[in-house]
A and B are shown apart, each in its own frame.
Chain A
Amino acid sequence: MAKHDPEYDHEHIAIPGYLGVFAVLIVGTILTYFVATIDLDWIFPGANTLVALLIAFTKMACVMLFFMHVRWSPRLIWLAVAASFFWLAIMFAYVMQDYLTRATGVFTQ
């Protein structure tokens, strides 16, 4: 007997949903390209990078939630995903608090 419990439905978002996510990813890519050609430094230096990363994070969230089915996954999977980014944040934070606070001429050239 095969299991076809509606509570444990694996179909997720079906084809229109996948195409919708795909459209968001394509629009995000085109947007990334055009925003990169506009100088946003008048807002604050590095605003271009921030906008590019915001779009990239949005695209990543779409891929993870829908293509990778995290949206319908058990809490344990959510925890694994969150922990990955938390570890990454620890690595970035501790490396940068070192490099950004070094006195010039001591360890830098």
Chain B
Amino acid sequence: MSTHGHSDKFVYHEPGLQHQFSDMEQQEESVSIGMWMFLAQEIMFFGGLFTAYLVFRSKYPMAFAAGSNHLDAFWGGLNTIVLIVSSLTMALTVYYAQKGNRNLQMLFIVLTMIFGATFLGVKAIEYNDKFHHGLVPIAGLNKRERGTAGAEQHPEGKPCWEVAEHGSEHEYVNPKGEFEWADCSLAKMAQDEGYLTTAEKTGYFANGELDGNKFRDKVRIFYYLYFVMTGLHALHMIIGLGLMAWLLWTAYRGYYNADYYMPVEMSGLYWHFVDIVWIFLFPLLYLLGRHFTHGGH
């Protein structure tokens, strides 16, 4: 007897087939297209932030380059590698799910989770560094106590373009936890070489002089975008870790086999998507002004 009750003939029912689909192939295609529709809206979700980045970077390229140079490309690059390794382990998770190998599938889920957690740990180190250097763009969220700092705070009596990046350390006072930025040498360089954008010619200057405070406010836009983009990405990583924990539990309970593994494959799509976002965030946030400081200027 059929379990559906609408046929007297025996109908083979694959264990993973849900009743609204006629066969496994149709089910897999429907599930895939649903997941890709979700990813399409995720692309638009991040796309709004990339659009904001595009608009402000095209207006204030030098402030973005200056802000970017203060991010640590070592940590950013390390995290890129960590995420790529996690994408490989995720691809192998799906591969072993397709093979119906439960133990290797679980091993690679655990490895994926370890690399995902490593990524978040590195992110925490970076955010902590920004907190200590007065680079969190929201006033009050930076470290308030006294300490020492390099170029973030403006030494008295020096024009902003002579504040060397990573210059001599001096006493650090930030009682209100404000966003701090002193070095406007990249704006000076662009002014001298004549390639300031129209927006920069008004946006960095007060009374015809380069103004450290106006430049700082444009660098601050970069840091707003840095925190929102990497923060939203980190949130996706946390959700991804939740998905992996659920996959590990269901794999342990033996939900998946060589004929039914779509939840594994769909979680893999999500994980790879988050990896792709980082593939773009890394060069756009960490590397965009590096050639000004390393490339013979």
Q: Are B54's CB and A95's CB within 8 A?
A: yes
Residues of chain B lying within 8 A (CB to CB) of residue A49: 283, 288
Q: Are A11's CB and B98's CB within 8 A?
A: yes
Q: Are B295's CB and A15's CB within 8 A?
A: no
Q: Are B283's CB and A56's CB within 8 A?
A: yes
Q: Are B295's CB and A39's CB within 8 A?
A: yes
Chain A interface extent, by class: 35 or more
Residues of chain B lying within 8 A (CB to CB) of residue A95: 51, 54-55
Q: Are A73's CB and B88's CB within 8 A?
A: no
Q: Are A32's CB and B276's CB within 8 A?
A: no
Residues of chain A lying within 8 A (CB to CB) of residue B198: 104, 108
- CA distance in complex: A19, B89 (Å): 10
- CA distance in complex: A69, B84 (Å): 16
Interface of chain A, helix or strand or loop or mixed? helix
Residues of chain A lying within 8 A (CB to CB) of residue B14: 3
User: What 0/1 pattern do residues 64 to 80 of A give for CB contact below 8 A with B?
Assistant: 10111100011011001
Residues of chain B lying within 8 A (CB to CB) of residue A59: 276, 279
Interface of chain B residues 28 through 79 with chain A (CB within 8 A): 29, 32-33, 36-37, 39-40, 43-44, 47-48, 50-51, 54-55, 58-59, 73, 77
Pick from A11, A26, A96, A109: contact of B55, CB below 8 A.
A96
Given contacts A2-B259, A60-B276, A80-B40, contact A10 B98 (CB under 8 A): yes
Tell yes or no: B180 within 8 A of A by CB: no
Residues of chain B lying within 8 A (CB to CB) of residue A77: 32-33, 36
Q: Are B203's CB and A33's CB within 8 A?
A: no
Q: Are B268's CB and A80's CB within 8 A?
A: no
Q: Are A2's CB and B258's CB within 8 A?
A: yes
Interface of chain B, helix or strand or loop or mixed? helix
Q: In angstroms, how far is the closest chain B Cβ from the Cβ of A86?
A: 10
Pick from B24, B77, B203: contact of A109, CB below 8 A.
B203
Interface of chain A residues 1 through 54 with chain B (CB within 8 A): 1-3, 8, 10-12, 14-15, 18-19, 21-22, 25-26, 29, 32-33, 36-41, 45, 48-49, 52-53
Q: Are B88's CB and A22's CB within 8 A?
A: yes
Pick from B24, B25, B55, B282: contact of A32, CB below 8 A.
B282
Q: Are A29's CB and B202's CB within 8 A?
A: no
Residues of chain B lying within 8 A (CB to CB) of residue A52: 283-284, 287-288
Q: In angstroms, how far is the closest chain A Cβ from the Cβ of B216?
A: 15
Q: Are B58's CB and A67's CB within 8 A?
A: no
Q: Write the chain A residue with the least CB distance to B80.
A: A29
Q: Are A81's CB and B24's CB within 8 A?
A: no
Q: Are B88's CB and A18's CB within 8 A?
A: yes
Q: Are A36's CB and B290's CB within 8 A?
A: yes
Residues of chain B lying within 8 A (CB to CB) of residue A76: 29, 33
Tell yes or no: B90 within 8 A of A by CB: yes
Pick from A12, A37, A66: contact of B291, CB below 8 A.
A37
Question: What are 16 inter-chain pairs, A to B, with CB distance below 8 A?
Answer: A3-B259, A18-B88, A19-B88, A21-B91, A36-B73, A36-B283, A39-B297, A41-B295, A52-B287, A76-B29, A80-B36, A84-B43, A85-B43, A87-B43, A95-B54, A108-B199
Partner-B contacts on A (CB < 8 A): 1-3, 8, 10-12, 14-15, 18-19, 21-22, 25-26, 29, 32-33, 36-41, 45, 48-49, 52-53, 55-56, 59-60, 63-64, 66-69, 73-74, 76-77, 80-81, 83-85, 87-88, 91-92, 95-96, 99-100, 104-105, 108-109
Having A29-B77, A40-B291, A91-B47, one finds 14 other A-B pairs with CB under 8 Å, namely A10-B98, A36-B290, A39-B295, A41-B291, A45-B195, A49-B283, A52-B283, A53-B283, A67-B87, A76-B33, A84-B44, A85-B43, A87-B43, A108-B198
